[in-house]
A and B are shown apart, each in its own frame.
Chain A
């Protein structure tokens, strides 16, 4: 992992990027634990409202779907169709066939690598 691709968008020093990665690690860890603990400590009526429960159940669906779309097509700031799409399409087929998680990931990676080896960026 020599020349860090993380420096690209910032044009900043390696030190700066390493620090911001630790910032992500620490703040998201502390925040995630606080959210978990809140469920045990916050008075039930606040979190028990049906609308709050529905939003919380739908949040992962929206966020994960957005992540799938962005990570498949985005080459910030543009949208591109490249070998990743072939990999994700293969993952859809594998999931439809009820393949286990690791197989799905391996198939997606292998198909994308194969498409690239055949000359598709």
Chain B
């Protein structure tokens, strides 16, 4: 326990077993998320992004769903504005995670800058899960270890996926154009936990399809966001608990 300064305060010392469990979980989550990174790197390159651009997205954007969306919309012929808009709308939830975490993590001014970059579904979920009596000293380690572990594995996997995919010429022969919607579906799946989310998902899919022939590529997806806004603001649903971060989606 004589490592990080954050652990030096005796009153903040967590049992050694729990702390190593936090680290083990963090590495496990990192490796599992790396699988998404492999397919992200591959799909980015087959969508026309260079391996360098794919890597910059994983380093700087560092939020799986937003990265897949930016790449998918550019691949479908959507404009830059639609790709950016969708990626940023998907990123708004990270802002709410930051709000939750700023109340839980002891952060100095500068460490907020690093914490912000690591604020994603996985690190938030692991940190919030330690917000229990007797485990609060593990919130910080759970956040930092999970965030750092996912960051490392996600970026390594992006590199490998991008390098492997740049060997292929026609993504359609390998069925990679079907892998893109499958990737979005796998990101969506754990969020379909109740009737409201399932209805919103179904309505959004239908609206996007209806608008596809009349709007330029990328815009139908942006319009479907209005369904989330309408349902979220609808007074009838007040009292329904907002969903937290879904497991297994970054």
The residues of A with any CB-CB pair to B shorter than 8 Å are: 1-2, 4-6, 8-9, 17, 20-33, 35-42, 44, 47-48, 50-74, 76-79, 83-84, 86-88, 91-92, 95, 100-102, 104-114, 116
Contact = CB atoms under 8 A, between A and B. Distances in A.
Interface in B85-118: 86-103, 107, 112-113, 115-117
14 contacts: A5-B75, A20-B80, A21-B50, A32-B63, A58-B196, A64-B90, A64-B184, A64-B185, A66-B221, A84-B178, A86-B178, A87-B179, A91-B185, A112-B175
B23 interface: no
B176 interface: yes
B101 to A, nearest CB: 7
A25 B228 contact: no
Top 10 nearest A-B pairs by Cβ distance? A39-B98, A87-B178, A112-B178, A55-B232, A108-B182, A112-B175, A113-B175, A66-B224, A66-B208, A69-B205
Interface stretch (B4-12, B127-135, B212-220): B212-220
Given A8-B77, A50-B238, A62-B228, A40 B209 contact: no
Given A25-B57, A54-B237, A62 B225 contact: yes
Contacts, number: 348
A51 to B, nearest CB: 5
Contacts of A8: 77
A5 B243 CA distance: 39
Given A76-B76, A105-B179, 20 more contacts: A39-B116, A44-B102, A47-B96, A56-B232, A56-B242, A60-B93, A61-B188, A61-B200, A64-B65, A65-B204, A67-B72, A70-B221, A71-B184, A76-B216, A78-B213, A83-B175, A87-B175, A88-B178, A102-B35, A109-B179
A92 B80 CA distance: 30
B201 interface: yes
B21 interface: no
B138 to A, nearest CB: 20
Contact of A70 (B93, B182, B220): B220
Most chain-B Cβ atoms within 10 A of its Cβ — which of A17, A67, A91, A106?
A67
B192 interface: yes
A68 B208 CA distance: 10
Interface of A is mostly: helix
B16 interface: no
Contacts of A64: 65, 90, 184-185, 187-188, 191, 201
B228 A35 contact: no
Nearest to B217: A76
B146 interface: no
Contact of A55 (B91, B208, B228): B228
Contacts of B178: 72, 83-84, 86-88, 91, 108-109, 111-113
Interface string B163-185: 00010010011111111111111
Contacts of A21: 48-50, 53, 74, 80
B204 A62 contact: yes
B84 interface: yes
Contacts of B169: 1-2
A70 B185 CA distance: 12
Interface in B23-76: 32, 35-36, 38-39, 45, 48-50, 53, 56-57, 60-63, 65-66, 68-70, 72-76
A8 B47 CA distance: 13
